[in-house]
Amino acid sequence: MLFNSSQHAVVLGAGSWGTALGMVLSEFFDKVTLIGRCPEQCAEINSFHTNNNYLPRVQLPKNIAASVVYQETKDAALILFVLPTSATREAATELATIGIPATTPLVSCSKGIERGSGIRMSEIISELLPNNPIAVHSGPTHAEEVSAHLASAAVVGSQNLELAASLQTVFTTSYFRTYTSDDVAGIELGGALKNVFAIAAGIISGIGLGDNAIAALVTRGLAEMTRLGIALGGRPETFSGLSGIGDLMVTCYSSHSRNNRVGKALGSGETLEEVTERLGMVAEGVPNTLSIYEAARKHDIETPIINAVYQILYEEKPAQEALVELLTRDLKPEISQ
């Protein structure tokens, strides 16, 4: 076991998911620090043990504190990256500048791939902090439900089996169960790719179609996710697990999903600018659709659903028109991938 309760854990990111994961960690570690960007938000967490902008009506444990100072990471036994994907490189650069110990495990909990390079978040972290042990964490886990102690399950992945086993213990409570895997790429890709299909599911709901259409979307989305995920380095069986079909289902059917809400608004006739302003939080599927579309084109993988969402978001194609094109493509047999 690499960790003990007297140690200090740090979560980079004080949004809804960073806060919920901090609550999970607080059941093992005596001290958990959330690193945020807003001094007023950190003052609220420290004074009132709430984070109402992200998790209203949730009381945080007393052993969770918040800070805007990255120096808090220097004595951490464990550091989680729970940031928008666009902020991961900057945060890893900051940690490298500070000079955290090379023994400190770093866990990526962000879901996306980098625009341009097409690389995963753990690869960015490893590039900038090459000596630190790396792991990833993902699964069908909405912050609103985890923070309410509703039963949830996730998966932690690492090539370092001892680290994975230790993290499994840290990330397991009476309401939160964690499994292990060594397919780091597959876990990250499942979490990233599902965002695009969540937008598609929301669009279907917003247009006013029914359960049949969403079931078809989830089923064909899984085939598309698996096809592209394998091409990008994941293993087939991982996409049948928690970070694949599990995360895909919860985000396509749940109103907690920001990506789903974006899609629903687009299907109802709002513009992307209008819904982004109203949402007030990052919906990772929007920038990730662009980076994932680029990755699919680079590897010449057939991705009709991803293509349709890309056209709606970035080419201003009407949602109804994109849907008709999806349904009237050339007919073909159903295949597993």
Q: Which residues does the annotation mark as catalytic?
A: 194
129 vs 201: CA distance, rounded Å: 37
Check whether 247 is labelled as a binding-site residue. yes
Check whether 194 is labelled as a binding-site residue. yes
Check whether 257 is labelled as a binding-site residue. yes
According to DSSP, the residues that pair with 34 across neighbouring strands are 11, 66
According to DSSP, the residues that pair with 176 across neighbouring strands are 152
Check whether 139 is labelled as a binding-site residue. yes
Check whether 319 is labelled as a binding-site residue. no
Q: CB under 8 Å to 99, separation ≥6 — which residues?
A: 74
Q: What is the greatest pairwise CA distance in the chain?
A: 61
Check whether 17 is labelled as a binding-site residue. yes
Check whether 270 is labelled as a binding-site residue. no
Check whether 332 is labelled as a binding-site residue. no
Q: 170: how many CB neighbours lie within 10 A of its CB?
A: 24
Q: Answer left, alpha or beta for residue 292, where phi above 0 means left and psi between -120 and 50 means alpha.
A: alpha
Q: 30: how many CB neighbours lie within 10 A of its CB?
A: 12
Check whether 182 is labelled as a binding-site residue. no
Check whether 37 is labelled as a binding-site residue. yes
Geometric angle at alpha carbon 180, from 179 and 183, rounded to 5°:
130
Q: Measuring CA to CA, how many Å separate 174 from each of 5, 152, 154, 169, 198?
A: 17, 10, 13, 11, 29
Name the token pair of 335.
């295949």
Check whether 19 is labelled as a binding-site residue. no
Check whether 237 is labelled as a binding-site residue. no
Q: For residue 147, which amino acid is it?
A: S
Check whether 165 is labelled as a binding-site residue. no
Alpha helices in 155-284 (DSSP H): 161-170, 184-207, 211-231, 247-253, 258-267, 272-279
Q: Measuring CA to CA, how many Å separate 328 from each of 209, 301, 321, 324, 325?
A: 17, 20, 11, 6, 5
Strands 152-157 and 134-138: antiparallel
Check whether 254 is labelled as a binding-site residue. no
Check whether 54 is labelled as a binding-site residue. yes
Residues in binding site: 16-17, 37, 54, 111, 139, 141, 143, 194, 247, 257-259, 282, 284
Residues in binding site for NADPH: 16-17, 37, 54, 111, 143, 258, 282, 284
Residues in binding site for sn-glycerol 3-phosphate: 111, 139, 141, 194, 247, 257-259
